[in-house]
Amino acid sequence: MEEKAYTPDEVAQLFQISKHTVYELIKRGELQAFKIGNKMRIEQSELERFKENRKAPSKRGSAKQVTNNQAISIRISGSHDFLVEHFAKQAASKLKLQIQPSYIGSLEGLMLLYRGQCDIAATHLLDPISHEYNLPFIHQLFIYESVLVIRLAAREQGFIIAKGNPKNFHDFPDLTRKDIQFINRQKGSGTRFLLDSKLSSLRIDPRTINGYGNEEWNHLSAASYISRGIVDVAFGIQSAANHLGLDFIPVAKENFDLVFRFTDENKQMLADLIHYLQSDGFKDSLTDLAGYDISDLGKIIYQTTTQTEEQL
């Protein structure tokens, strides 16, 4: 039997919230939706996952290790990525954990981790001075905390355009053309950091770009504007273009990392997650890897001096 799918209005009625709140949850990636034409739909299984995550007991500031039949909760915050989605779903199933993803952007994910409001941050932040990804920010934030940085993948970032490139778009200067409409990512996202760094180096004024101020919260949502013919160009990852049958112009290869922050409550759960991330079983579960390089998947990039071998 085909799985039932709900409209945002129906979801709002089920949870007794406003339709606006439903759309905000979808934009932040906390509630996964798909489109049929111009209509948004949410599957029954996704609603069940969302409800279970909301019921999972957690202590503000850290995930809490519990025993017997009580739920175990780990919070992943930061950048949206299809591999992160896959990792969260696979790990939750294999390790019997409650995992709560929140796709709010790389910078905000790191800040939540710094404030102790999540356990793992997903990040791909380019430092415009050193041109190094992630570590310059981590070195500044996590001085006394026990953290471990593990490479998930390298990703291709670039321009997502309509199939066949009907507007004959090629590079950054084309963004300033009057016949080009752009859709941007939100401030604090790693993709926005990279875009702004490129624009600055080329001395392109963002005010000359039609749509620079229009923001979306994940790659697939941004790319969907192109598939619907609303805009001409988005800046994002190749896999989002592939998902919707769009063309892609590569610009840069970036490092996407997971930052684990250990506490007394979560250290065993995080150790289990890391072992699974580094396992052949997880690597074998990965498919449709266009735009990704997973040759360093599971590699430890950095760890603080307070990180002990016992935690791994």
Kindly report, residue by residue over 182-218, the tens digit of the pLDDT. 999 999 999 999 999 999 999 999 999 999 999 998 8
Least confident of 168-172, 183-187, 248-252: 183-187
Note the pTM of the prediction, 2 decimals: 0.78
pLDDT for 55 equals 57
Structure tokens given for 93:
């199933």
pLDDT for 81 equals 93
**What is the Cα–Cα distance from 11 to 14, expressed in whole angstroms?**
5
Structure tokens given for 202:
């080329």
pLDDT for 63 equals 40
Burial degree of 137 (CB within 10 A; 0-12, 13-18, 19+): buried
| Domain residue spans of the chain | 1-55
Structure tokens given for 37:
């034409």
Helix (H, G, I), strand (E, B) or coil at 243: helix
Residue (of 306, 267, 261, 235) closest to 78 by Cα position: 261
pLDDT for 54 equals 63
pLDDT for 14 equals 83
pLDDT at residue 243 is higher than 70: yes
Span 19-41, average pLDDT: 73
Q: Which of 82-86, 159-163, 265-269 has the highest mean pLDDT?
A: 159-163
Q: Which CATH number fits domain 1-55: 1.10.10, 3.40.50, 2.40.128, 3.30.70?
A: 1.10.10
User: Do residues 156 and 238 lie in contact, with contact meaning Cβ atoms separated by under 8 Å?
Assistant: yes
Arithmetic mean of pLDDT over the chain: 87
Structure tokens given for 214:
């229009």
Kindly report, residue by residue over 265-307, the tens digit of the pLDDT. 999 999 999 999 999 999 999 988 999 999 999 999 999 865 5
